[in-house]
Each structure stands twice: as structure tokens, then as C-alpha cells.
């Protein structure tokens, strides 16, 4: 799986949009971009995923650049409950051999939402 690079930490004012960047310059054509978050010591929570088109769900939006080498997760109106570590992961979506279901979590970005 491709490696990802994320800033170690970010702050965001409550009510403002939080934009979390991720670089994945070695991503392959069959690899998707996934975002998970982990609120202090709880189990990680799936947020969103995409291949090349922008995606939106009830939690967030995912913007993927045309060359697919980077992406941005957008939380449109951050709340204090969004304070968490956010993980950007690239992985094939379907089974293609041993280990292909593995989610490789790096260190992520610690987002602090400030009142």
C-alpha cells in the first residue's frame, strides 16, 4: 500500500471548517483513499473514502486532486466532539491477495477543535 504523509497536528476554531491534508504521491490506480478518526483511546471510526471523484456524506467531504497524489478531508462545521486523531489511509478496495484488507494506520493528524 502507498504511504501517506499528514501534518502531526492542527487546530480549528469551533464552527469553522476543518481542512485536513494528506499526501499520497505513490498511490496506485486501484487504491482508494480512506479516512478514519480515533477519539481518545476509542476504536477508530470510518469517515469516508473515495477513488478519484470528490465524495460527501453526512460526516465530511473528501476532495481528491486530479492527479490523485493528495487529498483533503473537510469537516464543514467542526465541533468539540470532532477533536480526534485523523488517519488518511490508501488501500485497494477489494481483496487482491494476502494483506490487501489491512488498514495501515500511520500517526495521523491530531485535530484540536478550539472553543
Partner 1 sequence: DADVTQTPRNRITKTGKRIMLECSQTKGHDRMYWYRQDPGLGLQLIYYSFDVKDINKGEISDGYSVSRQAQAKFSLSLESAIPNQTALYFCATSDFSGVQQFFGPGTRLTVL
Binding site for partner 1 (CB under 8 A): 32, 41-46, 49, 87, 93-95, 98-108
Q: Which is nearer to partner 1, 15 or 99 (CB)?
A: 99
Closest approach of partner 1 to the CB of residue 82, in Å: 18
Between 5 and 45, name the residue whose CB sits nearer to partner 1: 45
What is the rounded distance in angstroms from the CA atom of residue 34 to the CA atom of residue 42?
18
Shortest Cβ 11–partner 1 spacing (Å): 19
Q: Which is nearer to partner 1, 17 or 51 (CB)?
A: 51
C-alpha–C-alpha distance, residues 114 and 90, integer Å: 29
Amino acid at each position: 500500500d502507498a504511504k501517506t504523509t499528514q501534518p502531526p497536528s492542527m487546530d480549528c476554531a469551533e464552527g469553522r471548517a476543518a481542512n485536513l491534508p494528506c499526501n499520497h504521491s505513490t498511490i496506485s490506480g486501484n487504491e482508494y483513499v480512506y479516512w478514519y478518526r480515533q477519539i481518545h483511546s476509542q476504536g477508530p471510526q470510518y469517515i469516508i473514502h473515495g477513488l478519484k471523484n470528490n465524495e460527501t456524506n453526512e460526516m465530511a467531504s473528501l476532495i481528491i486532486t486530479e492527479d490523485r497524489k493528495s487529498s483533503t478531508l473537510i469537516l464543514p462545521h467542526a465541533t468539540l466532539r470532532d477533536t480526534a486523531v485523523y488517519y488518511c489511509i490508501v488501500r485497494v478496495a477489494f481483496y487482491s491477495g494476502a494483506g490487501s484488507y489491512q488498514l495501515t494506520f500511520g500517526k495521523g493528524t491530531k485535530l484540536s477543535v478550539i472553543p
